[in-house]
């Protein structure tokens, strides 16, 4: 069965789970941990990707983040590839370090934000990496210590998280810590590490209760949220997909147009795209840019890539024709 496509757009809240290949360790010592966290923080800053909660374990990591302008795949590719290269170099090894496909779950913020922050930051305690909440407050390899004011990470969006617990910093930290402590007795909470209706509703018994009253909500394994949220996300994804298909069709049609006009005028497409300064090539570029923008709705940048010139050159050609856009 083919893998389901990623669900993502700028501003989407994701719970990410990264695992070592064949359950192997992804960090061997504190230097590895420093490298991972440094790369995570640098990318958060460079790619404008807010990170709210994180926990680096021995063979996996959890991250709660909001997708930035460049999208989730670009962020994760740079994080995982960059760290794997550094790790392999340090430990004189080759090959993959992470599972081929990290897990990303789109999360309904209003219902699950606080729960996910707590779940992620309790991971070191549940795994026995620390044995008390006092030690967890100072634990270096999760975002909890930053929220508690014990450590500093300039890149971590701790103010946004504390804002969920109060307006005054001191009181918000107190409320947050109490909330975390209350979560210790809740166990692993498997519904928070996956999507789908059974998990989102809080278990199979809740799903059966919904069905008894005739409430059959939409579900998707890639989404943690109620039926309405699932419908909104999938509808937006469908719209994005249709737009991408439309954009692809426009570009394909534009390429066909360029090929036909070049053949008609006796010039090769390669000569046109390679920046030929022949008068004929310049004339055809000007003519095609007019058609691409006015009739096919392409942008200056899209037209420029097809014609082998800069966007500013396309703009000048259009302005010379006295066309306003």
Q: Residue 104's beta-bridge partner residues?
A: 16
What's the mean pLDDT in 237-257?
61
Closest CA to 281 of 299, 270, 267, 294: 267
pLDDT at residue 229 in the model: 58
Q: Residue 103's beta-bridge partner residues?
A: 17
What's the mean pLDDT in 96-106?
85
Distance CA 132, CA 109 (A): 29
pLDDT at 242 over 50: no
pLDDT interval class at 225 (50, 70, 90): low
Question: Other CB atoms closer than 10 Å to residue 245's CB: what's the count?
Answer: 10
pLDDT at residue 127 in the model: 93
> Are residues 168 and 146 in contact, defined by beta-carbon separation less than 8 angstroms?
no
CA 13 to chain centroid, in Å, comes to 8
Which is more confident, 289 or 208? Answer: 289
> Are residues 16 and 7 in contact, defined by beta-carbon separation less than 8 angstroms?
no
pLDDT at residue 198 in the model: 43
For 160, the token pair is 């946004």
Distance CA 197, CA 192 (A): 12
Q: What is the pTM of this model?
A: 0.65
What's the mean pLDDT in 19-48?
95
What's the mean pLDDT in 77-92?
94
Start-end of H helices in 127-278: 133-138, 144-147, 158-162, 169-182, 197-200, 204-212, 227-265, 269-273
Complete domains list, the chain, with CATH: 13-194 (3.30.70.1290), 246-320 (no CATH)
Distance CA 177, CA 182 (A): 9
Start-end of H helices in the chain: 30-46, 72-90, 109-121, 123-126, 133-138, 144-147, 158-162, 169-182, 197-200, 204-212, 227-265, 269-273, 279-294, 300-307, 311-320
pLDDT at residue 207 in the model: 45
Which is more confident, 148 or 101? Answer: 148
pLDDT at 305 over 50: yes
pLDDT at residue 246 in the model: 46
pLDDT at residue 324 in the model: 41
pLDDT in tens, 145-198: 999 999 999 999 999 999 999 999 999 999 999 999 999 988 666 666 654 444
pLDDT at residue 82 in the model: 94
pLDDT at residue 201 in the model: 47
What's the mean pLDDT in 88-115?
87
What's the mean pLDDT in 286-290?
83
């Amino acid at each position: 069965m083919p893998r389901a496509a990623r669900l993502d757009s700028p501003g989407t809240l994701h719970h990410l789970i990264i695992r070592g290949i064949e359950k192997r360790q992804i960090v061997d010592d504190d230097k590895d941990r420093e490298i991972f966290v440094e790369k995570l923080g640098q990318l958060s800053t460079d790619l404008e990707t807010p990170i709210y909660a994180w926990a680096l374990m021995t063979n996996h990591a959890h991250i709660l983040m909001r997708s930035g302008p460049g999208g989730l795949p670009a962020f994760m590719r740079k994080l995982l590839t960059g760290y794997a290269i550094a790790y392999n170099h340090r430990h004189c090894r080759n090959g993959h370090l992470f599972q081929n496909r990290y897990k990303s779950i789109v999360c309904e913020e209003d219902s699950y934000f606080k729960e996910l922050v707590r779940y992620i930051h309790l991971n070191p305690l549940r795994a026995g990496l620390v044995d008390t909440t006092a030690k967890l407050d100072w634990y270096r390899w999760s975002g909890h210590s930053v929220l508690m004011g014990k450590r500093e990470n300039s890149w971590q969006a701790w103010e946004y998280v504390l804002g969920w617990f109060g307006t005054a910093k001191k009181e918000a930290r107190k409320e947050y810590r109490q909330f975390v402590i209350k979560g210790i007795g809740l166990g692993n909470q498997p519904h928070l590490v996956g999507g789908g209706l059974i998990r989102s509703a809080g278990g199979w018994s809740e799903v059966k209760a919904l069905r008894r009253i005739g409430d059959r909500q939409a579900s998707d394994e890639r989404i943690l949220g109620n039926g309405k949220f699932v419908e909104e996300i999938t509808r937006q994804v469908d719209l994005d997909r249709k737009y991408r298909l439309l954009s692809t069709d426009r570009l394909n049609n534009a390429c066909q147009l360029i090929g036909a006009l070049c053949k008609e005028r006796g010039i090769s497409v390669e000569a046109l795209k390679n920046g030929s300064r022949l008068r004929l090539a310049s004339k055809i570029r000007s003519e095609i840019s007019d058609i691409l923008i006015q009739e096919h709705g392409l942008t200056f940048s899209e037209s420029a890539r097809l014609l082998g010139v800069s966007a500013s050159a396309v703009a000048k050609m259009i302005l010379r024709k006295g066309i306003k856009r």
